[in-house]
Amino acid sequence: MSGAGALSLAACNVMPLPRICISAFSGGGGKTLLALGLSRAFAAQGIIVQPFKKGPDYIDAAWLSCAAGRPARNLDPFVLPHKRLRALFLHVMAQLQAHAPNEILALVEGNRGLYDGMDTMGTCSTAELARTLDCPVILSVDCTKMTRTTAALVHGVTSFEPGLRFAGAVLNRIGSSRHETSLRRVFEAYTDIPVLGALPRLVKNPLPERHMGIASSGSELSPQAQETMDTLGSLVALHLDLDTVLGAARAAPPLGKDVETVWTAPGHTSLCTASTPKPRIGYVRDAALWFYYEDNLEALERAGAQLVCLSLVGGQSARPAASGNEAQHMDVDALYLGGGFPEDWTEALSASPFVRSLAAWADAGMPIYAECGGFMLLTQGIERDGKLWPMGNIFPVIAQFCQRPQGLGYVSGTVSGKNPYFPQGLSLKGHEFHYSRCLWKNSPPPFALRLHKGRGMGTLSPADGKDGSDSVDGLVYRNVWASYTHIFAPAVSCWAPNFVAAAQQFAVTRKKMAHG
């Protein structure tokens, strides 16, 4: 696999890589609807669309996956330096080119406004990512109650920073044909940016804001949501010049060869050989837990794991987890519990034999890696609307659901406690997105992750002998890790090999127990 991948990666530097980036002046500027519509419209033409989402986003990525008909990947300049971002992009496209029967197109959806980043310099902005990939940018311009002013805004945006390629603009939220005609004349008179099309103002936003219609069925979309994708694809095909958009994507230059290896971790190789079977790592992907980076799952497979997809609640066509007494003997060597919305499934999760078996598996030494929603399954219970729903009871804490986010954004910290997955002293970057907070009945146990940025599980109190400036995250029990922090495997090269190694060791232990 590695040899073929290397050949494909080299080929990507000389073969065409059609690509475009969708951005806007601000969040809510219509880029998601445009990206979804373009993905579905080009896919309907037989073009193989590989979607990417900029930043740590699971929900938009799920919509893009369904619009394009293939899993979206994330590109995040906060956790990966430029060379590794290019390497990851090339890796994904190389895999696609090796087997694609038709033309391929990479479509990158940005986030927020084009130049909005983490500081006054725009660090980690969509513009920075577009420069890194030398990717032509299409601007979604919200033209609500504007005509000539749009030209001034476009002129300012396109001349603000050097090194960007602009493919054109899409006039969004057009009120009438007269409005469109006026805008086209303004663009022709005052800008060098071609108008690629004009989308009418929609009476109702088809994509709800929080769960965006996905949580009821996990990362799969319902038939009604699929119809929405078809509607957006038809809308874009009707109102945009798709040939010009595709021509701009094809005109993107080859990427340079100064890329780095994405997956190889120094000193780590696959532990699995013909005589040592692959350890089975189960991961829950259903309506309750479905926040997984495709890159994390691929990293585990590349490190030697066999992945087993499990489902605890409805809404996903995954293999169900064992029930009843069978739950005590589930045929996996480790568990990966991602994020999601378990607070919406408290009754079903609390009654699940799988959840009730978690503490026994942890006591037996099974490796369990849990992020955010997955961590909530390991608590004493989830409290919502004044009612407590018992959960796995591995850690002495209650996850209290709140109406507002309790942690949102990027996270950076240092691994401070011993654990099976990360060396102590490792600088760790990730992100958090959680509506729950921790309620401790007694003094909290030691934490394994000291955060310099982010909320995590809370702030250390003065009683801990600290100044309270840092937050903490990361609970460890035997081979269990639980945190609110989500990590991105290409940025933490030790995680997958260490997780697979722990699963391999437990597989040997489990086999001895079965014969003992």
Residues near 179 by beta carbon (within 8 Å), at least 6 away in sequence? 143, 147
Residue with tokens 């390497």: 87
The string over 103-141, giving b where at least 16 C-beta atoms fall within 10 Å of a residue's C-beta and e elsewhere, is bbbbbbbbbbbbbbbeeeebebbbbbbbbbbbbbbbbbb
Q: What is the DSSP letter of 120?
A: T
Q: In degrees rounded to 5, what are phi and psi of residue 369?
A: -115, 120
- In angstroms, the CA 100 to CA 323 distance is 40
Catalytic residue among 272, 372, 402, 438: 372
In 3-state terms, what secondary structure has residue 258? Answer: coil
Can you read off the two tokens belonging to residue 498?
């260490």
User: Between 59-68 and 223-239, two packed helices, what is the crossing angle to 10 degrees?
Assistant: 70
Q: In degrees rounded to 5, what are phi and psi of residue 388?
A: -105, 125
Can you read off the two tokens belonging to residue 482?
């639980």
Q: Are 75 and 88 contacting, i.e. CB atoms less than 8 angstroms apart?
A: yes
In 3-state terms, what secondary structure has residue 255? Answer: coil
Q: Are 108 and 135 contacting, i.e. CB atoms less than 8 angstroms apart?
A: yes
The string over 324-355, giving b where at least 16 C-beta atoms fall within 10 Å of a residue's C-beta and e elsewhere, is eeebeebebbbbbbbbbbbbbbbebbbebbbb
Strand partners, 340: 289
Residue with tokens 């956790």: 79
In 3-state terms, what secondary structure has residue 58? Answer: coil
The string over 197-211, giving b where at least 16 C-beta atoms fall within 10 Å of a residue's C-beta and e elsewhere, is bbbbeeeeebbeeee
Catalytic site includes residue 372: yes
In 3-state terms, what secondary structure has residue 385? Answer: coil
Rounded to a whole number, what is the distance in angstroms from the first to the last CA of the chain? 37
Please count the other Cβ atoms lying within 10 Å of the Cβ belonging to residue 438.
22
SS in 3 state form for 430-499? EEEEECEEEEECCCCCCCCEEEEECCCCEECCHHHCCCCCCEEECEEECCEEEECCEECHHHCCCHHHHH
- In angstroms, the CA 359 to CA 346 distance is 18
In 3-state terms, what secondary structure has residue 280? Answer: strand
Which CA distances in Å does 237 have to 129, 232, 434, 458?
27, 8, 37, 48
3-state helix, strand, coil in the chain (%, to 5): 35, 25, 40
Catalytic residues: 372
